Every structure is written in structure tokens, then in C-alpha cells.
Structure 1
């Protein structure tokens, strides 16, 4: 690189196809970053996302905290906004970097196009010391961004792929627990019962994250165990979907509505059966037993006409993995193999046509052959139908 620059190469040259410069390619390398800086790196150069080099340094890709000082002294704008209207402060990876920006006049309360302040962003990503710094400087602990998302609500958000427009994809909550963040926010007066415009609460989020400790903490500090969102989903539905036995038992003990039904007609039994995966299928019997012991109707139908038995078979089919104990538990507790969904499909007939599973002489499920000998011939299924989107399990 030294030879190229000595021969006249431009430190700001961009790749013809990607428009990326050497700085962004090597942003995690302190030596190269400083070399480029000392050889003409322009502080006003921007990526297609509107990021100047200061954004790359501040977002935590480099451990040398003297670099931001050098960049700012050389003219980097601490309040420059990218295409999402975020400033470098939105991306500050830690307290030290946030303090440097603040010292040079960065706006601690700037809002991006979604109404998110640096505090919202720090809570979403889990940057604990940055959160503490921002709160110490007067950041509003309950300020609502678009759709009513407060910093506390963002701390329970698990949309890890929702980082469009970032200089670099972050690693949310690496080395920081959500419980630590929640404690700090609540100590500063955050409203634990705040909800988004579609009714999402922190308890919905904690249950969706399958974080039992966080679920307990929120309930102990006043979260409403019966809160429903716009789809009439409760935290108990989310705990059931993640097959979190401890959280399901705890929420029920705390008064959660075991008979709550979503706008899709989903009971907590549907929720447990519809989201089972390769991992949870191995221990789903435990959670089904808890749910059934609380009086849930085993043959209740959702809006597609599917019972829990239909939905559990769907997961067996999808993952080519079967927990016959769980399936037979539903049967022993009264599940009807002959109930048809809206497409006329009955679990009795689906099993009879299946290459891998069969009914034994007593009407319970058994394996036909080793899963490793089975050839998967059919396609996947959307909710309510195998192989043909939302309307059918039938083979073509």
C-alpha cells in the first residue's frame, strides 16, 4: 500500500463496482486506517449510505480511540447525517467514543427518520456504557420513537436482521445482558407498561426472546401478564412458541390467561405446536402437558381450521423429525385424528399417506423406518398447507 500511495494512488479512490474505498475495506485495521488518514483520506467522503469515515471509526470497528479525535480535528463533522438521518452518535460503540463526540459538540438527542435517538439505538444494540453515558447527559428514558417504541421496548427487540443502513452490521447484546439494560432503564424511571402502537410490551419481547430471567424481572416490576397486542397475542403465546417450559409455567402461575385466543384463532396450544423445530421437538412433550393440564381445548381450531394435531404434524413434516411421545400425548388427551381443516385434510389420512410415519394397532403414531433412510420428496408448507402455500398438504 505504501508503494502505491508513493506512486500517486489516491487514498480516496473507490472500487468501480461497489463504490467502496480502501478505508471501508480495512476499517478494522488501525494501522491501515491511520496510514490512509495521514495520506489524504478525505473526511467529507461518503458511502452510498451517506457515511463519512468518522462513522466507520465510531461504530466500533477500530480500538484506537485516538483516531476519532484525529478525524474530528481534521474536519470530520460530528453531526453529519447519513441516509437514515443518523449521526455518528447513533452508532457510538461505547462510552469513550460517545464522550469524544459529545466533547466536540455532537447532538445527543438527534432523531433518525424513525424517530430513534442515540439512546434508542444503544438500547436496541445493547451498548451498556453508552446507555449510561447518554442517560447521565439527560437523554429521555421514555421518549417514544415511531410506532411508540421506547428505549426499554427496544431493549427487548430481537430483530437482529433489522440493521439496514448501518456502517457495519452490529452484534447485538454481545457481552451485555438485556437484564442489565432493563435494570438501568427502570432505575431511571422507564415505564414498564409502555406499549407500541400495535400493543407490543416488554413482556411480549422477553417471552419471544425466551429469556426467563427477564420475564420474571418484568413481572416482578409490574409488567401486565395479560397484555395483548393488536393480534391479541399474549406473552404466554410467545413463551409457548419458544417452548420455554419455565416461562410458560411461571406466567401461568402469575395469572396469565391460558385461554387467550389470537385474531388467527391461535390458542397457546396451537402456539406451542406451530413453532416447534428440530431442537424443541425433542422436549415439547413437557410444555404440551403443562398447557393441557390447564384445561386448553385440544381440538380447538385456528382460522385455517387446523387443530394442534395438524400443526404438530406440520412440524414433523417440515423438519423430517418426529417426537412420537408428544404426538401421542395429544392423542391420549383427546386429540381427534379425524377432524378436517378448511382444506378437508385429516391427520389420520395424512399419516396413512406419509412415507415415514404410520399408525400402530392401537391408533398411535410410530416410525415406519429410520429417519436417515427417508427421502424427502415434498416441498415446504406455509401456515395451513403443505406444498401448496396456504391451502393444502396434498402431494402433486
Structure 2
């Protein structure tokens, strides 16, 4: 008997519930096909949780996430919650999940689908075949370092303080994720920091260099300053395979890399914790797009990033490589057929809505895996 795999769905706000519904249809397809048995639970996060419970995520939801084998997250936020205090905004939900589940490694793939190559702002010859993986440290660095805050100075002025801080252990664990991924790809890692002007960057470079020499001599390791990396992503992105970097630079560079592909609506992400003795790890998967409140409820959202996030879940949490590849091939086939939601619409293609895009993916799954 195939054991149950527990997935917690957290649709969130805006278009989150709409795109999550299409991902759940893919989950149901795999179950009907007899490929796996999923035990699905669903709960509230973000603005929906604020409305129901007064805060963006509850301890009960955190507990359910800790019990699950993986968490599939939608999107949070919207103008109706702008009046919430800084510490109670909908986005706190994702930060709390990362912190409480120990999710330290954010994986942001940036592939260019052949069918969408003309949607990239760069020339086709620059991005054709592009397939970058950015590994971003997710629970350290300047976003979490202490001291932090805003203070009033004796002269009446104000000062904002954030602290960039990393330990060798924090650097090593995220670098190991990058090196292990590179072993399954083309064997190249680029480590990105600002070692020329930041002590934390110097420690980062020294630590990654030592780890690579000691444990991953088979991987080609190079180093690059963050500003140069941004320039190189726009100039010659295909030089990169796996990029590993800290929280702040990863935030910036992954958004830049995502735009090379032509649409935020197409890209998934994963955030992983440490593996235990049996290889199990906490993990959360989510599309990188926002809640898009301007189109919420209109059936216009692109569900493909959510569906591809589920494919990443299959690959990294359940080691279901064939099933993950099947879902990805189905998405690619739909794009090749010329179907498009509004965010990726091009001349000569057919504009469709959220549900119809989900229908198209299911039809391709029937063809490919039926």
C-alpha cells in the first residue's frame, strides 16, 4: 500500500485561493492515477487569518505545518489590510513559517520555456536555454539580525538600524544545499557576496571556499560580488548554473533573474529546512508572484506557478522525480499549444482564464501519463 503523504494547503489571499484550486486539481489527478496517496489539510494565513483570528498566522496553523510532510502556500496581502501594524501585516505569516519550521534555504529556479522566449526583455539568443537555480539563505542576514529598529536621537532626528550577521554554521548549511543541487545539474556554483566592503561577506566567501575544498572538490566554485552578479545576469545569464547567496542579495537577484524569464506568474519556489536522520525535512512551496488583488476573483490569474510549485514539492519533499517531471512537461505542452493567461499573452496566442488553464494542464497530464 502506498503510504499517505501529508500536505498542508495555505491558499491565503487575493488570487491565492484561485491558483491553489488548480494545483489541487493536479494533486487529485495524481491520486486518481494511483501514483500516490495524499492526505490534504487546508487552513488560513495572511489577511484571511487576520479577519478570522486577528493575526496573520495562528499557533494551530504552525502546529499543522510542523506535522505535515510539506506545505503548499498561495499568496498573502491586499489593500484591505494596509492599516494593520508592521508586526501584524499579512506577510508576517510567511516569515513566521520560515522561522518556526527552520526553513533556511530558498530555492528559486529561473528557467526560460521555449514557448515564452519572446516574452523575456532580453534578446532570444541571450536567454535561450537559460536554467538558473538561485539558492537564497532565508532566515538570517540583515532581515533578522540584531540590533534592529528605529530610534530617536538626542538632536530630535531618527535613525534606522538593521544588522547584517551570519555565522559559519548558517553559511555552511545553505552552501551545502547549493553544492548538492549542483551535483545533480552541471556541477557549477557561484557564491555571491560583497567581501570587498563587508566583513560578513568576507566570512561568507571564506566559509564557502573552505567547505567546497573539503567536501565538494568535484564542484567548480567561483565567487562574484553582488553588484557584478546583477550586471552579469542581464549581460550573460547563461554563464550561471547554481547561485548561492545571503538573504538580502538573494531577494534582489532572484527577482532580477525571474524577469529574465518573462513573467513572475510562471515561477515557483521552495524553502527547505534541514534533513533529519531519515532524510525528512520541513519544506514550504509557493509561487513567487503576489496576491494580485486587482484581478482576484475574476478568473484571470495564471495558475502555472502554483502548479509548478507543487511539482517542486514532489521533487524535493517526496523524491517523486518522474511525477514532478510529468507535471512540468504538461505545463510546457500547454504553453507550446499557444494557450496563455493575460500575463503571458503574446501575438498569435489564445487568451484563456485560470480554470481553462487548469483544464488544459489536466488534458496534457491525461495524454502524457494516462
- Interval of TM-score (by shorter of Structure 1 and Structure 2): under 0.3
Question: Which is higher, the Rg of structure 1 or of structure 2?
Answer: 1
Greater RCO structure (CA 8 Å; 6+ sep): 2
Identify, as 1 or 2, the structure richer in strand.
2
Identify, as 1 or 2, the structure richer in helix.
2
TM-score (ref. length: structure 1): 0.26
TM-score (ref. length: structure 2): 0.28
